[in-house]
Amino acid sequence: MKIFIYCLFTVMLFSCADVSNKSAFTGEAPKHNTAPIGTISSESIYQVTDTFQTQNDTKVTLASFAGKPTVVGMIFTHCTYACPRLTADIKNIEEQLKSANGKVNYLLVSFDSQRDLPDQLQKFANANQLDNNFTLLHGDENTVRTLSVLLNVQFEKDAEGNFSHSNVISVLDKKGALVFQKEGLDADPTDIISSIKQQL
Amino acid sequence: MITTFFCAGNAQKKVVFSGDKMVTVPSGNYQPFFITPNNKPIPVPAFKMDETAVTNAEFLEFVKANPEWRRSKVNRLFADTNYLRHWQSDLSIGESNKKIYNSPVVNVSWFAAEAYCKWKNKKLPTIAQWELAAKAAPKNLKYTSVTDFILDWYTKPNPKVLPNVKSTYQNEYGLYDMNGLIWEWTFNFNSFIASKDSRGNDEDELKNFCAGGALNVADKSDYAAFLRFSYRGSLKGNFCIANLGFRCVKS
Amino acid sequence: MIQISKREPRLKRAILPALLLLSFTFFMSSCKTNSGNNADESKIDTVLTGTVTAELTTAPNVPKPLTYTSPKKVMVTLETIEKVMPISDSSEYTFWTFGGHVPGNFIRVRQGDLVDFTLKNAPDSKMSHSIDLHAVIGPGGGADATSTAPGQSTHFQFRALHPGLFVYHCATGPVPLHIANGMYGLILVEPQGGLPKVDREYYLMQGDFYTKGKYNAPGLQDFDETKALAENPDYVLFNGKVRSTTGPNALQAKVGETVRLFVGNGGPNLVSSFHPIGQIFTKVYMEGGTEVNHDVQTTLIPAGGAAIVEMKMQVPEVINLVDHSIFRAFNKGAIAQIKVTGAENPSVYQKLKP
């Protein structure tokens, strides 16, 4: 009986430890490497110097994500079907890469320049329990369109301010070059995960 | 309007410019080609549009002022290996290419077109703006309908020498060659969210699109529009193609 | 000791049921369908034993029968080319093509092959193009992966799971226009073991064309969308041109030979009633599939479909191959010919005095 209690206690301890690592909704900005220009390759998407705002209302350029492989998805928060699924797919990838926690960036960029301002992005992050590895980005129309072209994502705004868009999960290497993409929802993430592992 | 005369030996320095003439396109409603679930037309406020497509001569000025957009320097992420391949060199269209100094510049990518328009404090037109501008009836066109004229152009091969701007037709807004010379880049060319195979009835594809599938077409017999949208759907941002150029707009 | 006699009645009693059982087993096994090679995937060897480049031919020629006996990776590249060519003696038309001719190149692979397919679009094309091969099981038959802008190329692979003669065509919107302008061809997936040997094989593909001007009007003709919607063509042709396969261009054969025709119908609209005047199809692989019919006078080839037909050359003659919706043959160009040479064969056919 004693042994059982000790085991139980140990298990509880470790599970608590897990939770504290993934401190959701603390509002802390994830730490980025502000990488010097030399670590961005000529194929890197990070060569685009447009400014985004994060869910914490911090100004960033894409170059600040250099140094770690990055998983990118494009969504908008008022989306009722596909975007929650895409977000869940990316969360699932993060879950399966638990061992690499903190070594991979997860980016969600919003199509919705008008409505997805930083506080709206923060609400979305909270509602979807996205941890510190996730950065949500707001950009102006030109900035977002440029990124979508670079990532081969199709999207369009309708008369009601909602978006039709393709669903693509992209993997960028540490220097920001696009190395892998997969289109579609609820897709098997095995090849995405192995691509990320190759970049670690 | 800047006009100077051709000087045979000095063609690079003195060229005929169409200038920065822009015309006003009045506000209107754009009915999307692909039927959306609410199927509402999109209101487009009035805007100004370049009277003609951007020419080789005009683009040369841009390249001179922006070294990162020269052919030998440009980043492949932003322009593929066909970028300005019809020019003689980085800063020369070429003596032998005199005939096309005032023809639309082609072999330029979306990124290059965007950069040019930004340099001029303008923008690329959205699809809604472009389609609205292109719908205006032609003046003095010997065709039964614009669709006929467009289909006719679409089904003819590319000419060996691309004619100058203003060589096809002018429309009611004063715009030249909206059809008949080149395809033109639009700001949101990557909005063709249907699957690339345009035949399907993809109910399952609904999963993929937030605002619903955009696969049904408003007018399936408008082959001209169909071809235009299919063409846009095959493009990537860094593609440089021999029959694809652009013009800019200003709000 | 002769003990057998005592056992005999028991043996006899055992033999009858045994025989019954045996014959029942034989009966059941022979009932298994014999009509050719169904795509039972468990039987297809998916291990590839090498890479080959497909031999591509221009109609009316067909690539040689394949001789390998295990699946290969087959490299195929097609280029889409827009080209003005004569459609009749006086008329020209802007054709959109696979390979620079109508129909497109003939592709020949074997069931089980993995086809590595590259589609290129010529740099001076006006349009973007794609491909849907009816032999492909996958989104759009390949169209989803091959939307190709001018000067670009796309790439995908597919397994030839099923044998048969399949149409391929461009699937870029508006699809009917791309097909109407000539963007179709055939891909043959040989069954395992190949097709039975014949003396000659040829390739024909029917298509209907719609022009603003009348049949054989002089000059470059434009596509007529109104006629196309009404399914009222000016031309119904084999291999994209009036008289493409007649007279000096007729197919050749000799008395005594067995000739096989791979016949496709690109449409876009019309179904063909394919008939050999002066001959009978000894074999028809109906709709290009696995079932074989025999002794057929006229076979239907659906739009977007195909048939494999065979004939035994018995007498010297000119065989006129027609679409037996006969105004098409007479007035719109739907005739091809096989010129058969050799010794007369009076026991089969002889003209007599009145």
Highest mean pLDDT among A194-198, B147-151, C12-16, C22-26: A194-198
CB distance from A113 to chain B under 8 Å? no
Does the pLDDT of residue B10 top 60, yes or no?
no
- List the structure tokens of C292: 């074989």
Q: What is the SS3 assignment for chain C?
A: CCCHHHHHHHHHHHHHHHHHHHHHHHHHHHHCCCCCCCCCHHHCCCCCCCEEECCCECCCCCCCCCCCCCCCEEEEEEEEEEEEEECCCCEEEEEEEECCCCCCCEEEEECCCEEEEEEEECCCCCCCECCEECCCCCHHHHHHHCCECCCCEEEEEEECCCCEEEEEECCCCCHHHHHHCCCEEEEEEECCCCCCCCCEEEEEEEEEECECCCCCCCEEECECHHHHHCCCCCEEEECCCCCCCCHHHCEEEECCCEEEEEEEEEECCCCEEEEEECCCEEEEEHHHCCCEEEEECCEEECCCEEEEEEEECCCCEEEEEEECCHHHHHHCCCEEEEEEECCCCCCCCCCCCC
CB-CB contact of B41 with B131 (8 Å):
no
Task: Dump pLDDT digits (tens) for C133-147.
Answer: 999 999 999 998 999
Tell me whether strands C114-121 and C73-86 are parallel, antiparallel or unpaired.
parallel
Q: Do chains B and C touch (3 or more CB pairs under 8 A)?
A: yes
CA dihedral C318, C323, C325, C331 (to 10 degrees): -70
CB-CB contact of A90 with A73 (8 Å):
yes
Residue-level pLDDT at C22: 61
For B193, which of A44, A76, A154 is closest by C-beta distance? A154
CB distance from A162 to chain B under 8 Å? yes
**Chain B CB contacts of C152 below 8 Å:** 234, 239, 241
Is the backbone of residue B223 left (phi > 0), alpha (psi -120 to 50) or beta?
Answer: alpha
Give the minimum alpha-carbon distance from A198 to chain B in angstroms, rounded to a whole number: 22
Residue-level pLDDT at C337: 97
- List the structure tokens of A54: 């994060």
- pLDDT tier for residue B174 given thresholds of 50, 70 and 90: very high
**B191, A156: Cβ pair inside 8 Å?**
yes
Integer-rounded Cα radius of gyration of chain A? 18
Task: Dump pLDDT digits (tens) for A47-104.
Answer: 999 999 999 999 999 999 999 999 999 999 999 888 999 999 999 999 999 998 899 9
CA angle A48, A71, A163 (to 5 degrees): 75
Non-local CB neighbours of B105 within 8 Å, separated by 6+ positions: B53, B54, B55, B56, B58, B59, B84, B245
CB-CB contact of B110 with A149 (8 Å):
yes
Does the pLDDT of residue B16 top 60, yes or no?
no
- pLDDT tier for residue C202 given thresholds of 50, 70 and 90: very high
Give the minimum alpha-carbon distance from C100 to chain B in angstroms, rounded to a whole number: 13
> Peptide bond before C268: cis, by omega within 30 degrees of 0?
yes
Does the pLDDT of residue C198 top 50, yes or no?
yes
Of B35, B69, B110, B209, which to mutate for an interface test with A (greatest number of A Cβ within 10 Å)? B209
CB-CB contact of A61 with A90 (8 Å):
no
**B191, A160: Cβ pair inside 8 Å?**
no
Give the minimum alpha-carbon distance from B190 to chain A in angstroms, rounded to a whole number: 5
Residue range B118-127: mean pLDDT, rounded = 96
* Percentage of residues in chain A having pLDDT higher than 70: 81
CB distance from B191 to chain A under 8 Å? yes
Render B179-221 in DSSP notation, one character per residue.
Answer: SSS-EE--TTGGG--S-SSTT---SGGGGG-TT-----BS-TT
**Chain B CB contacts of A184 below 8 Å:** 207-208
Give the minimum alpha-carbon distance from C149 to chain B in angstroms, rounded to a whole number: 5
Residue-level pLDDT at A38: 52
Q: How far apart are the C-alpha atoms of A126 and A108, rounded to whole Å?
A: 14
**By C-alpha distance, which of B53, B217, B134, B224 is closest to C127?**
B224
Q: How far apart are the C-alpha atoms of C182 and C27, rounded to whole Å?
A: 50
Non-local CB neighbours of C220 within 8 Å, separated by 6+ positions: C84, C91, C92, C93, C94
Does the pLDDT of residue B9 top 60, yes or no?
no
**By C-alpha distance, which of B32, B47, B2 is closest to B20?**
B2
CB-CB contact of C283 with C309 (8 Å):
yes
Q: Note which residues in 145-164 of chain B have CB less than 8 A from chain C.
A: 151-152, 154-158
More confident residue, A11 or A107: A107
Q: How far apart are the C-alpha atoms of B68 and C242, rounded to whole Å?
A: 54
Residue C320, number of CB atoms within 10 A of its CB: 17
Residue-level pLDDT at C101: 97
**By C-alpha distance, which of C302, C267, C271 is closest to C177?**
C267
Residue-level pLDDT at B14: 41
What number of CA atoms fall less than 13 Å from residue A135's CA on the CB side? 25
Task: Dump pLDDT digits (tens) for C241-267.
Answer: 999 999 999 999 999 999 999 999 999
Residue-level pLDDT at C246: 96
**Chain B CB contacts of A183 below 8 Å:** 208
Q: How far apart are the C-alpha atoms of C80 and C146, rounded to whole Å?
A: 11
Task: Dump pLDDT digits (tens) for C291-301.
Answer: 999 999 999 99
Residue-level pLDDT at A133: 93
Q: Note which residues in 70-89 of chain B have CB less than 8 A from chain A.
A: 75-77
CA angle C16, C18, C24 (to 5 degrees): 105
What number of CA atoms fall less than 13 Å from residue A62's CA on the CB side? 28
Q: How far apart are the C-alpha atoms of A198 and A176, rounded to whole Å?
A: 14
- List the structure tokens of A113: 């320049």
Q: Do chains B and A touch (3 or more CB pairs under 8 A)?
A: yes
**By C-alpha distance, which of C87, C73, C163, C83 is closest to C118?**
C73
**Chain B CB contacts of C175 below 8 Å:** 198-199
**B155, C223: Cβ pair inside 8 Å?**
yes
- pLDDT tier for residue A180 given thresholds of 50, 70 and 90: very high
Residue of B nearest to A146 (CA): B111
**C94, B242: Cβ pair inside 8 Å?**
no
Residue-level pLDDT at B212: 35
Residue-level pLDDT at C13: 66
**Chain B CB contacts of C83 below 8 Å:** 157
**Chain A CB contacts of B195 below 8 Å:** none
Give the minimum alpha-carbon distance from A70 to chain B in angstroms, rounded to a whole number: 18
Residue-level pLDDT at B237: 96
CB-CB contact of C48 with C73 (8 Å):
yes
Q: How far apart are the C-alpha atoms of A188 and A97, rounded to whole Å?
A: 14
Residue range B192-209: mean pLDDT, rounded = 48
Give the minimum alpha-carbon distance from B150 to chain C in angstroms, rounded to a whole number: 12
Residue-level pLDDT at C2: 39
Tell me whether strands C292-296 and C235-238 are parallel, antiparallel or unpaired.
unpaired
Count of helices and strands (H, E) across chain B: 5, 9
Does the pLDDT of residue B217 top 50, yes or no?
yes
CB distance from B236 to chain A under 8 Å? yes
> Peptide bond before C174: cis, by omega within 30 degrees of 0?
yes
CB-CB contact of C111 with C192 (8 Å):
yes
**B200, C140: Cβ pair inside 8 Å?**
yes
Using CA atoms, how far residue C271 sits from B203, C205, C206, C244, C267, in Å, is: 30, 12, 9, 20, 7
Residue-level pLDDT at A94: 95
SS3 content of chain A, % helix, strand, coil (to 5): 40, 20, 40
Q: Note which residues in 24-83 of chain A have CB less than 8 A from chain B.
A: 42-45, 47, 76, 79-83
Residue-level pLDDT at B218: 73
Of A81, A155, A156, which to mutate for an interface test with B (greatest number of B Cβ within 10 Å)? A156
> Peptide bond before C276: cis, by omega within 30 degrees of 0?
no
Interior/surface letters A130-158, b for 16+ CB within 10 angstroms, e for the rest: bbbbbbbbbbeeebbbbbbbbbebbbbbb
Residue of C nearest to B181 (CA): C126
Q: Helix, strand or coil for residue A105?
A: strand
* Least confident range of B172-186, C37-51, C155-169, C201-215: C37-51
Tell me whether strands C132-133 and C107-110 are parallel, antiparallel or unpaired.
unpaired
CB distance from B237 to chain C under 8 Å? no
Residues in C whose CB is inside 8 Å of some CB of B read 82-84, 94, 123-128, 130, 132, 139-140, 143-152, 171-175, 177, 181, 222-223, 225, 229
**B214, A156: Cβ pair inside 8 Å?**
yes
CB-CB contact of A164 with A156 (8 Å):
yes
**A80, B210: Cβ pair inside 8 Å?**
yes
Residue-level pLDDT at B192: 67
Using CA atoms, how far residue C75 sits from B197, B249, C107, C155, in Å, is: 23, 46, 11, 11
Q: Helix, strand or coil for residue A20?
A: helix
Does the pLDDT of residue B208 top 60, yes or no?
no
Residue range C189-218: mean pLDDT, rounded = 97
**B208, A160: Cβ pair inside 8 Å?**
no
- List the structure tokens of A86: 């895409």
More confident residue, A30 or C35: C35
Residue range C39-56: mean pLDDT, rounded = 77
Residue B213, number of CB atoms within 10 A of its CB: 23
Give the minimum alpha-carbon distance from A26 to chain B in angstroms, rounded to a whole number: 29
One-letter amino acid for residue C312 of the chain: K
Non-local CB neighbours of C289 within 8 Å, separated by 6+ positions: C164
Q: How far apart are the C-alpha atoms of A80 and A60, rounded to whole Å?
A: 28
Residue-level pLDDT at C302: 98
For A82, which of B75, B76, B210 is closest by C-beta distance? B210
- pLDDT tier for residue B211 given thresholds of 50, 70 and 90: very low
Task: Dump pLDDT digits (tens) for A129-178.
Answer: 999 999 999 999 999 999 999 999 999 888 788 888 889 999 999 999 99
Does the pLDDT of residue C206 top 80, yes or no?
yes
CB distance from B69 to chain A under 8 Å? no
Residue C269, number of CB atoms within 10 A of its CB: 19
More confident residue, B153 or C314: C314
Of A37, A79, A143, A154, which to mutate for an interface test with B (greatest number of B Cβ within 10 Å)? A154
Neighboring chains of C (3 or more beta-carbon pairs < 8 A): B
CA angle C137, C139, C141 (to 5 degrees): 55
**B230, C174: Cβ pair inside 8 Å?**
yes
Residue range B193-214: mean pLDDT, rounded = 44
Task: Dump pLDDT digits (tens) for B43-77.
Answer: 999 999 999 999 999 999 999 999 999 999 999 99
Does the pLDDT of residue A23 top 80, yes or no?
no
Residue-level pLDDT at C19: 63
Residue of A nearest to B80 (CA): A43
β-bridge mates for residue C78, sequence order: C119
**B38, A158: Cβ pair inside 8 Å?**
yes
CA of residue C201 relative to chain centroid, distance: 11
**C177, B221: Cβ pair inside 8 Å?**
no
- pLDDT tier for residue C240 given thresholds of 50, 70 and 90: very high
Using CA atoms, how far residue B2 sits from A158, B9, B250, C262, in Å, is: 40, 20, 20, 64
Does the pLDDT of residue C41 top 70, yes or no?
no
Q: Helix, strand or coil for residue A69?
A: coil
Q: How far apart are the C-alpha atoms of A118 and C69, rounded to whole Å?
A: 63
**B82, C127: Cβ pair inside 8 Å?**
no
**A42, B77: Cβ pair inside 8 Å?**
yes
More confident residue, B52 or A183: B52
One-letter amino acid for residue C158 of the chain: F
